[in-house]
Structure 1
């Protein structure tokens, strides 16, 4: 079995600019485009959030922020339509446009 050291063996022959561009390229490769939700998906997302809020259920939100998707879990404390934001009981705030998915735990 071949045990390769990857880029480590090539670092001596690379210019610092090349190493910098390789690191930037690797970081950019991890970025995720914001998912575009159609009208039906937005309606379903809205209904799921409303039901979870009314019944006090724990939810797992998929949030797109800074070109990454991360998950946040908690119970919805407030749906602020005026400011277009959702608040969890632990004080975290998420704007509606950044919420791309929701899962309810019953």
Structure 2
């Protein structure tokens, strides 16, 4: 069976505006809705956050932001219960401020 390159083979015949429009449409297809967490799941995530912060353990968390879910691994350097956010330092020494409501899952490594 012949191997087809899909829309890639036609991109040289398209205007740059059309190519950009196709890329935007593909990004729209990748968008996901935010998972709904029940109170028990939220409590488990909260307890795991507290334990990882107290014991200085690395965590891998899933974060919902801008209609996508991304995964980050790092060490929790700050836990702000009043501001409802954490500061996660990844292995490349970048710091991410993550609000609690964006966390969809958490694994303590």
Please give the TM-score of this superposition, normalised by the length of structure 2.
0.79
Shift of 1:75: 1.2
Structure 1 residue runs of 5 or longer lacking an equivalent are none
| Runs of 4+ off more than 4 Å | 8-12, 14-21
CA displacement at 1:10 relative to structure 2 = 5.1
Structure 2 unaligned blocks of 5 or more: none
- Alignment CA distance shift 1:25-1:83 (3 Å): same
The alignment status of 1:67 with 2:67, answered yes or no, reads yes
Query: TM-score when scaled to structure 1?
Result: 0.81
2:100 to 92, 96, 99: 96
Separation of aligned partners in 2, 1:10 and 1:93: 42
Q: How many residues align?
A: 104
